[in-house]
């Protein structure tokens, strides 16, 4: 036990050091990364937004960041599958904690999220956000677009989220419509994967419906995504309800007929060519989860996002 340590989240001596905490113990940052508000030296920032006031059905995603962090403890410090590398050997990743929000003043929420996102992005770090309901993607997209221009939105979801609103509504089902209308995303380069509902508008965004995803293999889905975005700067958002409720029961608006976690993880693994400028995992709702099934899926999706970033980081060196 002499080589072992615990509470790496606040005892780490380096941002690229490996953790040796027991899976069942220790401070639960995301993948045992150092908890800090110091952005200096960070290549990637993991950030939680515990917000669920925009949900249209079952609440509970305010507990999502906690659950995803807890589930991420299952990732030990062997090379992470399927990337076969220590993600943190050369890529400095911190856990920035959570966004501070006033639960009694929801109209202030979007500005608060955007302001705090801007602070992180000003450091030059890549931002990986843990939600929270899907409304949080709206102010985060704005912060990214301010730096990169209109983004190709790559959205894994059961819902289009293109319902129209009055620009003031706090609603997790309208952020894509708003982003398309305001020039935050480029609809011609954006794509939605796993959609199993209908909305009045699609804004010209390409859709791979649930039945199409079922008929395609992972390589075909990934190829469709990469070819459609055409090297545009992309934002990757993953609503956990993209997956079938058999794999992610802990979510607010589950829709039957979705793909398996294995299939979609295989898709994510193949997205190395995407120029991903930011990413999030949203809609994990622990009160409806069982045995951390959904939280484990969410943590794994987030780990794959870090894996893609680690590969890109290594290739740039």
- Using alpha carbons only, give the angle 281, 283, 287 rounded to the nearest 5 degrees: 130
CA pair distance 253, 236, nearest whole angstrom: 20
Are 32 and 4 a contacting pair, CB within 8 Å?
Answer: no
Q: For residue 51, is it left (φ>0), alpha (ψ between -120 and 50) or beta? A: beta
* 244 is known to lie in a ligand binding site: no
Are 15 and 42 a contacting pair, CB within 8 Å?
Answer: yes
Strand (E) or helix (H) holding 118:
helix 109-121
CA pair distance 219, 257, nearest whole angstrom: 20
* 166 is known to lie in a ligand binding site: no
* 186 is known to lie in a ligand binding site: no
CA pair distance 53, 239, nearest whole angstrom: 16
* 134 is known to lie in a ligand binding site: yes
Are 49 and 113 a contacting pair, CB within 8 Å?
Answer: yes
* 289 is known to lie in a ligand binding site: no
**At which residue do the structure tokens 């007929």 appear?**
257
Beta strand ranges found along 71-149 (DSSP E)? 93-98, 126-131
* 21 is known to lie in a ligand binding site: no
- Annotated binding site: which residue ranges? 134, 157, 159, 161, 239, 241
Cite the annotated binding site for Mn(2+) by residue number. Answer: 134, 157, 159, 161, 239, 241
């Amino acid at each position: 036990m002499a080589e072992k340590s615990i509470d790496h989240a606040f005892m780490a001596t380096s941002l690229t050091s490996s953790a040796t905490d027991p899976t069942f113990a220790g401070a639960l940052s995301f993948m045992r990364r150092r908890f800090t508000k110091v952005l200096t030296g960070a290549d990637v920032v993991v950030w939680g937004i515990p917000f669920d006031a925009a949900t249209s059905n079952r609440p509970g995603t305010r507990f999502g960041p906690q659950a995803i962090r807890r589930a991420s403890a299952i990732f030990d410090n062997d090379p992470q599958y399927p990337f076969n590398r220590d993600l943190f050997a050369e890529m400095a990743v911190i856990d920035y904690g959570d966004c501070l929000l006033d639960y009694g003043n929801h109209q202030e929420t979007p500005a608060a999220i955007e302001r705090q996102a801007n602070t992180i992005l000003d450091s030059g770090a890549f931002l990986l956000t843990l939600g929270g309901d899907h409304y949080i993607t709206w102010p985060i997209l704005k912060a990214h677009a301010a730096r990169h221009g209109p983004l190709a939105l790559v959205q894994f979801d059961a819902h289009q989220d293109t319902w129209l609103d009055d620009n003031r509504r706090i609603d997790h089902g309208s952020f894509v419509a708003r982003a398309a209308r305001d020039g935050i995303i480029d609809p011609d380069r954006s794509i939605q994967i796993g959609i199993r509902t209908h909305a009045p508008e699609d804004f010209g965004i390409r859709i791979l419906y649930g039945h199409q995803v079922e008929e395609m293999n992972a390589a075909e889905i990934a190829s469709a995504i990469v070819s459609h975005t055409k090297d545009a700067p992309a934002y990757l958002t993953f609503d956990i309800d993209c997956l079938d409720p058999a794999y992610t029961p802990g979510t607010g608006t589950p829709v039957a007929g979705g793909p398996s976690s294995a299939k979609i993880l295989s898709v994510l693994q193949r997205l190395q060519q995407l120029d991903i400028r930011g990413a999030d995992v949203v809609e994990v709702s622990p009160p409806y989860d069982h045995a951390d099934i959904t939280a484990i899926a969410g943590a794994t999706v987030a780990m794959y996002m870090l894996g893609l970033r680690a590969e890109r980081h290594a290739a740039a060196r």
